[in-house]
Amino acid sequence: MSEKLQKVLARAGHGSRREMEAWIAAGRISIDGEIASLGDRIEADAKVRIDGRAISIKSEEDIVCRVIAYHKPEGEICSRKDPEGRPTVFDRLPKTRDSRWVAVGRLDINTSGLLLFTSDGELANRLMHPSNEVEREYAVRTFGEVNDACIQHLRMGVTLEDGPANFDKVKAAGGEGMNKWWHVTLSEGRNREVRRLWESQEVQVSRLIRIRYGSIELPKSLPRGGWIELTLEQVNYLRKTAGMENENRTLMGTDKHSVARAKVKSAKIKRAVHKHKATAGKNTRQRS
């Protein structure tokens, strides 16, 4: 049975459906030697190329849906490549075979914390759709006077340049003087929405960390720049949230040898993080 080209490419992890539609419109994709057009459907035996490079086409049954949680540091951008040479969130992700990691949403360069990646572009596309309204929780450090009226405005809603917005919850989380920590939740992902909400009350955000996406929490033991693969149960929670059928396969082991390998991997992650920081610092000094 034929399927839409952008759906097949997204499922294989080459990008979101929207990105694939843009690539098709730009003439970057061919089917059996002919430049593809929006609306094209393909069969399983079609020969597809992206920028002249042949890619494998897999059916939905052939692809194992994987999801990883990444602890994004400040200073990384959510793009595969950057003309300015800045580090990206894709630099330290594990290699995949016949697919690519697709980010579920974005965090701006000055925001750290939980960022999910999946090998299933269709899952990423559905989770990012506004209709899903997945709750996100952030730890925010503010600088400025925050009174009860300010909190009330943030809960009830304010008007931003792209329409009304509000936090579902605002909870004090410590701090002293003009520097306070808060935990806030909202269920949409507009650009810089958390920062803009606080700025609407003339309050500056000095730190912003995403600590939860739906029921997936940022692991406290995961270092900045490190990643961990989600369990099958967590993957299926996300698939259910996106209105998709359960995945019944996983590349994660559950035997005692896998546990031992996981401990070794954790140590490797920490060493890789330290090595990356050292390299980045050296490159920065050389450029300056």
Report pLDDT for 264: 47
pLDDT higher at 190 or 50:
50
Query: Does pLDDT of 27 surpass 60?
Result: yes
Q: Let me know whether 126 and 139 are in one domain.
A: no
- Mean per-residue pLDDT over the chain, rounded: 86
For residues 137 and 211, the answer to whether their CB atoms sit within 8 Å is yes
Give me the catalytic one of 108, 120, 168, 255. Answer: 108
What is the average per-residue pLDDT within 57-75?
86
User: How many domains does the chain divide into?
Assistant: 3
Report pLDDT for 173: 93
Q: Which of 100-104, 205-209, 227-231, 234-238 has the lowest mean pLDDT?
A: 100-104
State whether the Cα torsion 130-215-11-51 is positive or negative: positive
pLDDT band of residue 261 (cuts 50, 70, 90) is: very low
Query: Does pLDDT of 133 surpass 90?
Result: no
Q: Let me know whether 121 and 227 are in one domain.
A: yes
Q: Let me know whether 114 and 239 are in one domain.
A: yes
Q: Among 189, 213, 237, where does a domain finish? A: 213
pLDDT band of residue 1 (cuts 50, 70, 90) is: low
* CA dist., res. 166 & res. 186, Å (int): 7
Q: Let me know whether 117 and 225 are in one domain.
A: yes
Crossing angle of helices 121-128 and 17-25, rounded to 10°: 110
Cα distances (angstroms) measured from residue 267 to each of 29, 225, 241? 41, 13, 32
pLDDT higher at 279 or 45:
45
Edge to edge, what strands does the sheet with 34-35 contain? Answer: 34-35, 29-31, 48-50, 53-55
Query: Does pLDDT of 210 surpass 90?
Result: yes
* CA dist., res. 203 & res. 146, Å (int): 7
Give the CATH number of the domain where residue 53 resides.
3.10.290.10
| Known active-site residue 62 | no
Q: Among 196, 213, 230, where does a domain finish? A: 213
Q: Let me know whether 156 and 282 are in one domain.
A: no
Q: Let me know whether 226 and 87 are in one domain.
A: yes
Report pLDDT for 259: 38
* CA dist., res. 11 & res. 15, Å (int): 8
Q: Let me know whether 208 and 221 are in one domain.
A: no
Q: Let me know whether 100 and 143 are in one domain.
A: no
Q: Let me know whether 272 and 150 are in one domain.
A: no
Instruction: Say how many residues make up the chain.
Output: 288
Q: Among 152, 187, 213, where does a domain finish? A: 213
Domain containing 122 equals 67-130+217-287
Report pLDDT for 283: 57
Instruction: Count Cα neighbours of 184 within 13 Å in the Cβ-side half-sphere.
Output: 23
Q: Let me know whether 20 and 162 are in one domain.
A: no
Give the CATH number of the domain where residue 201 resides.
3.30.2350.10
Q: Let me know whether 44 and 171 are in one domain.
A: no
pLDDT band of residue 9 (cuts 50, 70, 90) is: confident
Q: Let me know whether 148 and 186 are in one domain.
A: yes
Report pLDDT for 280: 57
Q: Which of 14-18, 21-25, 118-122 has the lowest mean pLDDT?
A: 14-18
